[in-house]
Chains A and B, each alone.
Chain A
Amino acid sequence: MKYYETVVIIHPAIEGGMLKDSIVEVQKLVEQKGGELKNTEVWGRKKLAYLIDKQKYGTYTMLQFIGDKIKINEMNVELEHNPNVLAYMTIKIDETEMREQTGDLDTQIDGQAPQAEAEETVVSSEEKTVDKTPEVSEDETKAIIKEEGDDLPKVDEPETPSSDESEDSQDKEN
């Protein structure tokens, strides 16, 4: 049994349901040429390192499949003639590099936008927790301020020369 991996860059103008259709089209092509699909991952919209067909962005999709007599050359010819596919690459991989399917195609395509929102919510919750901590221990903070009172002048000392340096740099610029 041989293990293969195909990465396909789909045109950035294709989104939503159209994107799913074009991915399913590639999946059918793999099965038609004798491959058994094991995993499909949608990496999402990424910026390309160089222009392909005058496009700056592309939607990356990775397919992992196995088989003994897969017509890889015919598959590549079909992908070459597909107008929705900007670029493609099929390589032979090791068995240990195979990953298990996580989530359906719909959830992977829809999950790209909510992930960014989820990260934002996590950040906002962290900010709230940071704000809450000083409110809880007011007495402790007063005690800490008293303890650190001796250290304060030491902290101020290095700041003054830095301000002078900045003024000097400004003078030089002028």
Chain B
Amino acid sequence: MGFISQRKICPFCEYPEMIINYKEYKVLRKFLTEQGKIIPGFVTGVCSKHQRHITRAIKRSRNIALLPFTTDYRDI
């Protein structure tokens, strides 16, 4: 069996009109787990440059309570 590469394409490289900003918390929520952890880039397919931007934006929006630091495990 031949190995077929299924490398994911970074959505932010594919669509440059998508903006990474701490105000766009609905977009950033896709890159968090249910527990509120940041999903690594190799899972989501985001390139390292945009992963750095996402990480910074998530940490900013956590600071002003737009995104959670963590969730209460009793709520899940």
**Interface residue ranges, A against B (CB under 8 Å):** 7, 9, 46, 48-50, 52, 58, 60, 87-89, 91, 97
Contact = CB atoms under 8 A, between A and B. Distances in A.
B60 interface: yes
19 contacts: A7-B64, A9-B64, A9-B65, A46-B66, A48-B65, A49-B65, A49-B67, A49-B68, A49-B69, A50-B65, A50-B68, A58-B65, A60-B64, A87-B64, A87-B65, A88-B64, A89-B60, A91-B60, A97-B21
A49 B69 CA distance: 8
Contacts of A60: 64
A60 B66 CA distance: 10
A49 B60 contact: no
Given A46-B66, A89-B64, 9 more contacts: A9-B65, A49-B66, A49-B68, A49-B69, A50-B68, A50-B69, A58-B65, A89-B63, A97-B21
Q: Chain B CB within 10 Å — which of A9, A50, A89 has the most?
A: A50
A97 B62 CA distance: 20
Nearest to A46: B66
Q: Chain A CB within 10 Å — which of B65, B66, B68 has the most?
A: B65
A52 B68 CA distance: 12
Contacts of B60: 89, 91
Q: Chain B CB within 10 Å — which of A46, A49, A87, A91 has the most?
A: A49
A91 B60 CA distance: 9
A21 B69 CA distance: 31
Interface string B24-60: 0000000000000000000000000000000000001
